[in-house]
Amino acid sequence: MSRDWLRSAMVALPIVGLVTSAAQGAAPPADGDAAIAQSLAEMLRDARTVVSNNQDLINNPELGDKHLTGQVVLDQAVKSYTQATGSDPATVDPKSRQGRLLRAMMAAIVAVTDDNQATINEKGTGFKGFIPAVFARLVSEDFNQMAKGEAEVKVTAPPELVRNRKARPDAWEADIIKTKLLDPKWPRGQSYSAVVDANGHPAFRIMVPEYYAASCLVCHGSPKGEMDLTGYPKEGGKVGDLGAAMSITLYH
């Protein structure tokens, strides 16, 4: 594949309009890559929300076994996924690329939750550090192992907000955050995607923006610099600020 082809693809392919409709829950776009990426993002987000909805249970120091197993988290995530997309992941052909990758994401959700049962079920400790961001990072890492060479998922953020260095944006991600997602004129909630060169291969890359909700500000809010309950300085974020970007790469 020539460089010229790549360069023109980069110019021609930001199919942002299509991708937004999927992000908002409308029918998935015909484009295969965008549909696959959006379905992976949706599944990871849904599972992260399950952890968020169960945060009080996880943080309960009185209870031992919380019965929050990998299967329980996956079942709840699949329920939200099916509601949001109108399609049950079980019906996606397991031999298709989407079916394979979606099942890898689901397997990662189960594995990470099951691997952390000792932490989740620890009696006598309230805050255990098992929070949505950590869960999403561990699931992404597991998924990336399973999908090696085919796909990569990462939750990143504007560089000045990044807490865990593993979440730092790479050059392309930092550029898209700065020039697109943080641009005041960028339509809220709209993803950015392009076909670019990644590690020497053409790849479909997409950045899905996420914004701080009130619930995030206990840790990421004000006063800036004050320690939050996890031991990190708060970022001074406000409701509606760009707080995260889900970055998905599909290698061709």
Quick one: how far is CA 77 from the chain centroid?
Answer: 13
The C-alpha torsion from 153 through 157 and 161 to 166, rounded to 10°, is: 20
- Identify which of residues 86 and 159 has a Cβ nearer to ligand HEC in the complex: 159
In whole angstroms, the minimum distance from the beta carbon of 174 to ligand HEC comes to 13
The residue whose Cβ lies closest to ligand HEC is: 216
Q: Does 215 bind ligand HEC (CB under 6 A)?
A: yes
Cβ proximity to ligand HEC, 15 vs 40, nearer residue: 40
> What's the burial of 52, exposed, middle or buried (CB within 10 Å: 0-12/13-18/19+)?
middle
CB of 115 to ligand HEC, least distance (A): 15
207 binds ligand HEC (CB under 6 A): no
In the complex, minimum distance from the CB of residue 213 to ligand HEC, in angstroms, rounded to a whole number: 5
Select the span of 87-95, 179-187, 195-203, 205-213 touching ligand HEC (CB under 6 A).
205-213
* Residues from 133 through 172 that contact ligand HEC (CB under 6 A): 133-134, 137, 155, 157, 161-164, 167
Q: Which is nearer to ligand HEC, 28 or 243 (CB)?
A: 243
Determine, following the binding rule CB under 6 A, whether residue 227 of this chain makes contact with ligand HEC: no
Q: Which two tokens stand for residue 16?
A: 């942002």
Given the complex with ligand HEC, which of 147 and 244 has the nearer CB atom? 244
Q: Is 220 in the site for ligand HEC (CB under 6 A)?
A: yes
Q: Is 41 one of the binding residues for ligand HEC (CB under 6 A)?
A: no
Nearest Cα to Cα of residue 84 among 53, 41, 54, 131: 41
Q: Interface with ligand HEC includes 120 (CB under 6 A)?
A: no
**Does the footprint of ligand HEC cover residue 53 (CB under 6 A)?**
no
CB of 146 to ligand HEC, least distance (A): 19
Closest contact distance (angstroms) between CB of 217 and ligand HEC is 8
Residues 109 and 96: their CA atoms lie apart, in Å, by: 20
The single residue among 159, 179, 230, 240 that binds ligand HEC, judged by CB under 6 A, is 230
Q: Tell me the site size for ligand HEC, rule CB under 6 A.
A: 25
Q: Which residues bind ligand HEC (CB under 6 A)?
A: 131, 133-134, 137, 155, 157, 161-164, 167, 210, 212-213, 215-216, 218-220, 228-230, 232, 243-244
